[in-house]
Amino acid sequence: MEVTAFNLEDKYERDKFIKGEKKEIEILFSGNKVSYDPLQRVGVGISRLGTSRSVSIGAYSFALSRIDRRT
């Protein structure tokens, strides 16, 4: 399977990521149709804080949530 990466910071790529490649396919022997999106995709964003700072903030937030559960 092929996966396409999209830069979510770029408006054109973000719109294409959201839109996908929607198609309608017919279900055999029923005559019914369903929507299907065959585009395998992953969105990529750019950290404005930096990895170390983001991880530190996440760990701090997680620790606070665990402390709150104790009380």
> Looking at the whole model, is its pTM more than 0.85?
no
Residue 32 and residue 25: Cα distance in Å, rounded?
8
DSSP letters along 3-59, please?
-EEEETTSHHHHHHHHHTT-EEEEPTTT--EEEE----EEEE---SS-HHHHHHHHH
CB atoms within 10 A of CB 6: 19
What is the domain partition of the chain in residue ranges?
A: 4-70
1-15 mean pLDDT? 92
pLDDT at 71 over 70: no
Task: Supply 7's token pair.
Answer: 């830069």
pLDDT at 1 over 70: no
